């Protein structure tokens, strides 16, 4: 084999190795859910391993359906026309480290609808890998009030109301020593923004508790809110 033939074999072998290396990667990112406040911003990063150039790759972020991307980058361009319309004005892809295979999706003005899983896909040719990150949107409300129904022979019925929570909070009655009092009933609903409205009732019987506290807690952030009421003795004779 002549020098030209040897050189050609070396070049072909090199190109074959480059093609193989560009297809052998995994995608890594955060392993734990990302807690993000309602109305705030969040950043989701994903990274090629081993690190390598990604400008030539397709990078797709999607939620439940691959063909309905939250963000799409292909051939060095951001394809806003192919993404879900509600995300077009609320997302951007940070590409400062794309030469090392790292990108970050930034989402603005989070709503309860943004809660859930996000797939980050790197694709070159027919080969692709993905990483899934979960966003947990949180909202804690300080809007609380207690209504008291007119007393009757059974006692006094109290109603505790609070709205604007996400996800659904833990809710309970407590006495003045912090002990839990079983609720008479509990109910919840969601408004047009998917925020939870909570209602809890308690029948205070005669010669029972003189003061009670309505307590709520966001189980993700452990933030707490409470409101108390002191009952007049004339209601509990």
Q: What is the pLDDT of residues 174-220, one digit of tens each?
A: 998 999 999 999 999 999 999 999 999 999 886 666 789 999 999 99
% of the chain with per-residue pLDDT over 70: 86
23/14 Cα distance (integer angstroms): 14
The yes-or-no verdict on residue 72 having pLDDT over 70 is: yes
Confidence class for position 91, pLDDT limits 50, 70, 90: very high
β strands within 139-210, DSSP E: 144-148, 156-165, 170-175, 180-181, 185-190, 196-204
The yes-or-no verdict on residue 17 having pLDDT over 50 is: no
194/128 Cα distance (integer angstroms): 34
Q: What is the pLDDT of residue 151?
A: 82
**For the residues 41-48, what does the mean pLDDT come to?**
97
Contact 99, 31 (CB under 8 A): no
68/80 Cα distance (integer angstroms): 12
Distance of CA 47 to the CA centre of its chain: 20
**For the residues 15-35, what does the mean pLDDT come to?**
73
Contact 59, 118 (CB under 8 A): no
What is the set of domains in the chain, with CATH numbers?
25-138 (2.60.40.10), 144-235 (2.60.40.10)
DSSP state of 194: -
Q: What is the pLDDT of residue 23?
A: 55
Confidence class for position 153, pLDDT limits 50, 70, 90: confident
52 versus 208: which is more confidently predicted? 52
Q: What is the mean pLDDT of the chain?
A: 88
134/31 Cα distance (integer angstroms): 9
221/140 Cα distance (integer angstroms): 9
Query: What is the pTM for the complete model shown?
Result: 0.82
The yes-or-no verdict on residue 130 having pLDDT over 90 is: yes
Contact 170, 226 (CB under 8 A): no
């Amino acid at each position: 084999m002549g020098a030209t033939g040897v050189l050609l074999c070396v070049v072909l072998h090199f190109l074959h190795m480059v093609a193989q290396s560009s297809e052998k990667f995994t995608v890594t990112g955060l392993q734990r859910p990302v807690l993000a406040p309602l109305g705030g911003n969040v950043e989701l990063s994903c990274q090629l391993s081993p690190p390598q150039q990604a400008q030539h790759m397709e990078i797709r972020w999607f939620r439940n359906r691959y063909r309905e991307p939250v963000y799409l980058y292909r051939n060095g361009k951001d394809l806003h026309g192919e993404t879900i319309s509600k995300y077009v004005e609320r997302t951007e892809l940070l590409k400062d480290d794309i030469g090392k295979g790292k990108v970050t999706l930034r989402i603005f003005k989070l709503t309860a609808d943004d809660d859930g899983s996000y797939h980050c896909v790197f694709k070159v040719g027919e080969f692709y890998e993905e990483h899934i990150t979960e966003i947990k949107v949180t909202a804690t409300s300080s809007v609380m009030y207690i209504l008291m129904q007119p007393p009757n022979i059974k006692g006094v019925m109290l109603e505790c109301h609070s709205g604007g929570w996400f996800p659904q909070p833990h809710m309970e009655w407590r006495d003045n020593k912090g002990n839990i009092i079983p609720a008479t009933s509990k109910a919840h609903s969601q408004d047009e923004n998917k925020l939870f409205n909570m209602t809890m009732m308690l029948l205070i019987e005669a010669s029972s508790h003189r003061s009670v506290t309505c307590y709520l807690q966001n189980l993700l952030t452990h933030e707490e809110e409470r409101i108390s009421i002191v009952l007049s003795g004339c209601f509990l004779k």
